[in-house]
Structure 1
């Protein structure tokens, strides 16, 4: 009998790999006879290998005008993310490359090795106005391939030299490899880090975010950053009702113990192709509660799988969202965590000097 989830692979988050139809692309659907034959002759599908394609963009700073996020520019050194978090709201961006937001998103990655060079040109432009640059707003800047390409590191070295403010959001303890660089920036109020911890249960974490570091490693990274004087928060994001919400108080407690200055949260978001991917994941890993999980998510999202509206998309609304928010606030007060946001300086910025150009006298 063929598997109910023929594309499910060990160590990967998505259980399907369909190309979305909203762009008019031809659908990829496995033929049932082929699936029967494959399983009978070959058994389980082999593990998928990660591939990386070099991308050469013309610019590296992405601007946004969203009124409900705390930054107006960001840098994403990579497209796709090997962490494989099933809930990742960036998954639909892979469809722009005629690739699936499912398994393709976590196995067929893109790297931008010329990011630092592009960044220097943009920072040196006479019209550039300095404001904090956010890393990790789309895909993780410290996913495993950063160990090979070091694109995030190259950008941080440039920004540190220019005394430019930055924020980092990551699920990886790999950020501590840059701790000395970040320590120096933090002394001048130029750097802040947010580490995402979704669940403390290893089994839950392995299925939700299969290639992200163990939650305890992330909390250890919080402690190391805090001890180095680097402002660090813990992001409990996303909170998945009926799957991880029972851990809220414990997560806040562990964040405080690790030295975090505060916590933030976002209820799970399911835009575009993320919703069917998440539903398939529920059927594979939590079939006993799949309907209950989706009913609660829809209660938070105004009766829909996803709420794309500004201001409510990050917080949700209704009794469930109010309850989550109250629990976060009560636990934060109990453990002495503040609500202040990072205050970063932009007045220290000095534009980089490009090769072949003359330094300013002033």
Structure 2
């Protein structure tokens, strides 16, 4: 099977795409300006909610907090207070940032410190808790213990909790992997159910977009910028799924006050699936660069000494988002290329990146070709 760009989520479409096809895509992409001029998403709320966000200063939480403030909710961020609580991001105008900064409140506390939580949250009442950085069940238990009654508890889980399967896509009812590195998130979902909380869990797949602290698109952009070949494990036909951070934030907002979402789990990601080869090509297209040279290799032939040679798990990994689309009246705004273009133009293309380029493993692979 030839290397591919994207495929429809329902129809079995070939992944093959050639240079001529990529060239033909450019006019269509240039006409579609949704990602370049995304309007601020305003959510009509039945009533103002008092919202507590656990972790609202990194990536997803930043976009979520801004959407909630724009929707008229009272937002409080609980962080350890070791860095700035608010800062201007690429999507902010000076006016919108000033409005956000003046509206958001802050509680400085370590969510793992029971006595500190009990002290700082004593007498506080919140209609909704967004738990964006919880990893273990006991962390959520401490929050519930400190707050008492919570009207709604919305948890950021991960599609990484699913047990690996030969049948794809993953549906929300699929078995979880008790040995997964994300098992703490599975245990948190079980705790919330056991406690009888009005909870909802959101399971993203791979998230990308401006401020991404995980080297997903950034890993590709570094290599594209330097004009280097892009090493991709095995055939490059492994199928996966990426979702833009703004689409994820919007889904989180759509859960708020939604009766259909009570005690439910939702997969959230992009509408279409993509191969590893396709991600590399899409990143180049988004960056306005030539189609990159792709070099396939067998990871078993190398000892990388614990270094990560590729940013994605080497397997098929994608989910159905049909349940979220039906229950939440939500659908992704961003297609893959336009979403990557949004990320590139507002972050990497401005010289902003989280990690410096490291081509050590690349050079090991390329030296054997």
Normalised by the length of structure 2, the TM-score is: 0.31
Structure with more contact order per residue of length (Cα contacts < 8 Å, sep ≥ 6): 2
Normalised by the length of structure 1, the TM-score is: 0.31
